[in-house]
């Protein structure tokens, strides 16, 4: 049996080496530590990357949330402002309608006032014309009264007869009576004609 083992070792030593000799434990341990460290570093790096990515994502989400909140706030403010503007628009529309109604009423009142003024002016013109006619009529009556007075005064003087042969006052009264005899009433006119007839007969 010892010979067989010796023969086997001889064959193994004489055969070419196909496998490397096993690694020492110290190198294996160092390699394992290195690999563990590399894996640990890689894991830490991946973990840090994930943490940074999560933080960045959280920051982005926070910013987006803030932006969304700000946008919602602005949208609400715009809605409130739009609502206020609509209310103001409705108020202005009501004021405009009230102003239009007031303007229409004012125009109607102005038209009525113009018509009333026109009627008043027409009445004033009519009253002025009537007053002028009355004034002219009064002047005519006054002149007619003066002529009647003159005619009767001359008639009285003529009926008294001349005071002398060259009585100028009598002659003037006779001329005045002749000019104004139409202002005598029928009785006095008849009396004057009779007197004139007598004067003609006397002269003959």
pLDDT along the chain (204 residues), means of 10: 49 48 76 90 90 86 84 88 91 92 92 90 85 78 84 82 71 83 82 71 54
Q: Angle CA(118)–CA(121)–CA(127) in degrees, nearest 5?
A: 145
Quote the pTM value: 0.37
Provide the greatest CA pair distance for the chain. Answer: 233
Q: How far apart are CA 37 and CA 43, in angstroms?
A: 9
pLDDT at 150: 87
Q: Angle CA(36)–CA(39)–CA(40) in degrees, nearest 5?
A: 80
pLDDT at 85: 92
pLDDT at 134: 77
pLDDT at 70: 84
Per-position DSSP letters for 147-164, written without gaps between them = HHHHHHHHHHHHHH--SS
pLDDT at 64: 83
Closest CA to 177 of 162, 163, 191, 157: 157
Residue 174 CB: number of other CB atoms within 10 A?
Answer: 18
Per-position DSSP letters for the chain, written without gaps between them = -HHHHHHHHHHHHHSPP-SPPPPPHHHHHHHHHHHHHHHHHHHHHHHHHHHHHHHHHHHHHHHHHHHHHHHHHHHHHHHHHHHHHHHHHHHHHHHHHHHHHHHHHHHHHHHHHHHHHHHHHHHHHHHHHHHHHHHHHHHHHHHHHHHHHHHHHHHHHHHH--SSTT-HHHHHHHHHHHHSGGGS-HHHHHHHHHHHHHHHHHH-
pLDDT at 18: 47
Closest CA to 170 of 178, 161, 179, 180: 161
């Amino acid at each position: 049996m010892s010979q067989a083992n010796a023969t086997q070792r001889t064959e193994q030593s004489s055969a070419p080496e196909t496998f490397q000799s096993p690694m020492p434990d110290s190198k294996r341990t160092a390699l394992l530590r290195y690999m563990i460290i590399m894996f640990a570093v890689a894991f830490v790096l991946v973990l840090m990357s994930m943490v940074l990515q999560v933080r960045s994502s959280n920051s982005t989400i926070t910013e987006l949330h803030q932006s969304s909140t700000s946008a919602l706030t602005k949208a609400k403010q715009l809605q409130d402002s739009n609502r206020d503007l609509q209310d103001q628009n409705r108020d202005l529309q009501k004021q405009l309608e009230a102003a239009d109604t007031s303007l229409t009423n004012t125009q109607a009142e102005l038209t009525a006032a113009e018509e009333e003024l026109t009627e008043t002016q027409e009445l004033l013109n009519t009253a002025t014309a009537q007053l002028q006619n009355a004034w002219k009529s009064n002047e005519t009556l006054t002149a007619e009264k003066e002529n009647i007075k003159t005619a009767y005064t001359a008639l009285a003087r003529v009926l008294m007869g001349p005071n002398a042969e060259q009585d100028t006052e009598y002659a003037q009264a006779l001329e005045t009576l002749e000019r104004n005899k139409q202002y005598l009433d029928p009785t006095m006119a008849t009396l004057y004609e009779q007197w004139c007839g007598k004067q003609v007969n006397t002269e003959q």
